[in-house]
Chain A
Amino acid sequence: MNISIKQLFGRKPKSSNIAKQRLKLVITQDRLNVDDRFMTRLHHELAEVLAKYFEFSVNSVQMSLKQEGNSYVLVADIPYKKLHDLNARQ
């Protein structure tokens, strides 16, 4: 049997839950008819602005459109290393 301790204690999320979460995201974008380039552009331009305020790695930024009831939400997850000292730059 090829089950790790981690699996035995059920810490790994169920693949059905992962499927559901991924589907919800992609279907929201499908329904909104979002252009494939839209998210990349938004990602780039937002990163440019954010770089003025934070130190972070561009690749770690996660952005997605979600549907919550009848409204749509842009969710961004931006892990940063530190805030820039804005006063020092002036």
Chain B
Amino acid sequence: MGKVIVVTSGKGGVGKTTSTANLGTALALLGKTVVVVDADVGLRNLDIVMGLESRIVYTSMDVIEKQCELGKALVKDRRVDGLTLLAASQKNNKDDIQPEQMKAICDKLKASHDFVLIDSPAGIERGFINASAGADEAIIVTTPDVSAIRDADRIIGLLQHAGIEPINLVLNRFSPQLVGNGSMMDQEDVLDILNIDLIGIVPEDTGVITSTNRGIPLVYEDASPGSQAYMRIARRLTGQRIPIPDLEQKGFLSNIVNWFTRNR
């Protein structure tokens, strides 16, 4: 029996889909069986971010409407063993699915996979409720800015209320340079506010943008800092104990740079 993890945030555009695609792929690269589920009905993107957009035949809506078997709706990612995608319907909207129907799909999927990762839509309404209905655990993605963190706190409250535990934090688009000169909150600031466990820090990385352009998740590219960050998070999800490296720049040179650029 595997586990269902909802990847969510509150605020839009902070990296939920990017994180779901990369963590799903990373877990499969580590030998796990994984389904990534797009729960953003009507605004699906996980398929295109993963480069699987031309291969979607059925969606979760077809499964719910009994147009096809669940297994048949799973699109196999041919680049790595053990990874499949369940797409969201693009022509329906969030109200066309009931939380119990999402939960039934999740329960079936986790019986035959190690990990089921759900890409949640932004917001606290129906889309989020559906996405988290079958979740055992949650990953909150946030960027280090005031609006994303405030919204993350709202979501954390709702998840705790629903009994979803643990709730782990991914701090995305972290800029060591901006943190170094005092214009971006660091992980301690964010954790002090949100009070949940940090599972990883993903730096701002242009590789995320180019890999998304190509439809090839960044984790296939070993050298990129973003890729390494996602691989470490995936290992932590499998239970390995890997310390979170300090990304902050504290070298002599950066101190000099900070001296001239701080307080912006």
Which residues of chain A have a CB within 8 Å of any CB of chain B?
1, 3, 7, 10, 12-17, 19-20, 22-24, 26-27, 30-31
CB contacts (< 8 Å) of B263 on chain A: these are 7, 10, 12-15
Q: How far is the CB of B231 from chain A (nearest CB, A)?
A: 28
**Stretch in B32-40, B49-57, B107-115, B180-188 with 4+ CB within 8 Å of A:** B180-188
Instruction: Assess the B150–A20 pair: CB atoms within 8 A.
Output: no
CB contacts (< 8 Å) of A12 on chain B: these are 263
With A10-B262, A14-B263 in contact, do A20 and B192 touch (Cβ < 8 Å)?
yes
User: Is B252 in contact with chain A by the CB < 8 A criterion?
Assistant: no
17 of the cross-chain contacts (CB-CB < 8 Å) are A1-B260, A3-B260, A7-B263, A10-B262, A10-B263, A16-B184, A16-B186, A17-B182, A19-B145, A23-B149, A23-B150, A24-B193, A27-B153, A27-B193, A30-B150, A30-B153, A31-B157
CB contacts (< 8 Å) of B260 on chain A: these are 1, 3
Interface of chain B, main secondary structure: helix
With A15-B264, A20-B193 in contact, do A26 and B157 touch (Cβ < 8 Å)?
no
Instruction: Assess the B146–A22 pair: CB atoms within 8 A.
Output: yes
Contact digits for B233-264, partner A, Cβ 8 Å, 1 yes 0 no: 00000000000000000000000000010111
CB contacts (< 8 Å) of A23 on chain B: these are 146, 149-150, 193
Contact digits for B186-202, partner A, Cβ 8 Å, 1 yes 0 no: 10010011000000000
Provide the bound-state CA to CA distance between A16 and B84, in Å.
40
Query: Of B153, B179, B183, B185, which contacts A20 at CB under 8 A?
Result: B185
CB contacts (< 8 Å) of B182 on chain A: these are 14-17
User: Is B72 in contact with chain A by the CB < 8 A criterion?
Assistant: no
User: Is B154 in contact with chain A by the CB < 8 A criterion?
Assistant: yes
Provide the bound-state CA to CA distance between A20 and B157, in Å.
19
Which residues of chain B have a CB within 8 Å of any CB of chain A?
145-146, 149-150, 153-154, 157, 179, 182-186, 189, 192-193, 260, 262-264
Instruction: Assess the A27–B262 pair: CB atoms within 8 A.
Output: no
Q: How far is the CB of B61 from chain A (nearest CB, A)?
A: 34
CB contacts (< 8 Å) of B193 on chain A: these are 20, 23-24, 27
CB contacts (< 8 Å) of B186 on chain A: these are 16
With A7-B263, A23-B150, A24-B193 in contact, do A16 and B157 touch (Cβ < 8 Å)?
no
Provide the bound-state CA to CA distance between A31 and B152, in Å.
12
CB contacts (< 8 Å) of A31 on chain B: these are 153, 157
Provide the bound-state CA to CA distance between A12 and B183, in Å.
12
Provide the bound-state CA to CA distance between A51 and B145, in Å.
39
Residue in A closest to B193 when the chains form the complex, CB atoms: A23
With A27-B193, A30-B154 in contact, do A16 and B264 touch (Cβ < 8 Å)?
no
CB contacts (< 8 Å) of A30 on chain B: these are 150, 153-154
CB contacts (< 8 Å) of B183 on chain A: these are 14-16
Provide the bound-state CA to CA distance between A13 and B157, in Å.
31
CB contacts (< 8 Å) of B184 on chain A: these are 16
Instruction: Assess the A16–B262 pair: CB atoms within 8 A.
Output: no
Provide the bound-state CA to CA distance between A23 and B193, in Å.
8
Provide the bound-state CA to CA distance between A64 and B262, in Å.
29
Provide the bound-state CA to CA distance between A1 and B259, in Å.
13
- List 10 tightest A-B contacts by C-beta distance, closest first: A14-B182, A20-B189, A16-B185, A12-B263, A7-B263, A27-B153, A15-B183, A19-B146, A16-B182, A23-B193
Q: How far is the CB of B124 from chain A (nearest CB, A)?
A: 12
